[in-house]
Amino acid sequence: NAGVTQTPKFQVLKTGQSMTLQCAQDMNHEYMSWYRQDPGMGLRLIHYSVGAGITDQGEVPNGYNVSRSTTEDFPLRLLSAAPSQTSVYFCASRRLLSYEQYFGPGTRLTVT
């Protein structure tokens, strides 16, 4: 079991560029989510999904898109990167009826 995997580990973007952060899990979890971690602000929910074909917004969704075409994958798209999106991004998954989330190792994104 690889658990939750994220790629890339590090990324530098210029303002206005777009990119996709990849997330995959092999635990057959229904629930997947994306968080960003910023100093002094904890983990804030960007988007989440309760199953394939279903996504919803979290606390800070602006500037990000997601899709869930399979149970395993939950990519996060930055449409037009801004310096305010410089952060560490974590993907997580869990069973729908459990609240213990499994997190990936994170992607550190810098937007210049």
Partner 1 sequence: DQQVKQNSPSLSVQEGRISILNCDYTNSMFDYFLWYKKYPAEGPTFLISISSIKDKNEDGRFTVFLNKSAKHLSLHIVPSQPGDSAVYFCAATEKETSGSRLTFGEGTQLTVNP
* Sites of contact with partner 1 (CB under 8 A): 4, 31, 33, 35, 40-45, 48, 50, 56, 58, 90, 92, 99-106
Q: How far apart are CA 15 and CA 75, in angstroms?
A: 20
Min dist CB 110 to partner 1, Å, is 15
Min dist CB 16 to partner 1, Å, is 28
Give whichever of 43 and 52 is closer to partner 1, judged by the CB atom: 43
Q: How far apart are CA 63 and CA 29, in angstroms?
A: 26
Give whichever of 5 and 17 is closer to partner 1, judged by the CB atom: 5
State phi, psi for 68 to the nearest 5 degrees: -140, 85
**What's the alpha-carbon Rg for the chain, to the nearest Å?**
13
Min dist CB 80 to partner 1, Å, is 26
Give whichever of 14 and 97 is closer to partner 1, judged by the CB atom: 97
Among residues 89, 88, 83, which one has the least CA distance to residue 17?
A: 83
Min dist CB 15 to partner 1, Å, is 26
10-13/107-111 β-pairing:
parallel
Give whichever of 17 and 72 is closer to partner 1, judged by the CB atom: 72
Q: How far apart are CA 31 and CA 48, in angstroms?
A: 7
